[in-house]
Each structure stands twice: as structure tokens, then as C-alpha cells.
Amino acid sequence: VARGATTIRARDRMIVICKPEDLKSLREEFDVLTRA
């Protein structure tokens, strides 16, 4: 569910590239998923 960007799931070794303002919260969530 990306906003005009490439949508991919972190658990599938992928990343969702969104707006610059969304990157911070995105990276934090990504770290939690990769560390889980």
C-alpha cells in the first residue's frame, strides 16, 4: 500500500519507498520487522 511508489513487504526482504517525511517512521518500522 504505497503512495505513488513501489510497494513491497519488509518481511519479503523488500522496502516501501514513499515520501521523504515517511522515511523516518518507515525505517523504524522496518528495523522492528527485520529484527523480529
Burial profile 1-36: b = 16 or more Cβ within 10 angstroms, e = fewer: eeeeeeeeebeeeeebebeeeeeeebeeeeeeeeee
Q: What is the pLDDT of residue 5?
A: 47
**Secondary structure (H, E, C), 1-36:** CCCCCCCCCHHHCCCCCCCHHHHHHHHHHHHHHHHC
Query: Per the structure block, which three cell numbers stand in for 25?
Result: 517512521
- Domains held by the chain: number: 1
Containing structural domain, residue 6: 1-36
Q: What is the pLDDT of residue 26?
A: 74
pLDDT, averaged in runs of 10, over the chain (36 residues): 52 58 75 77
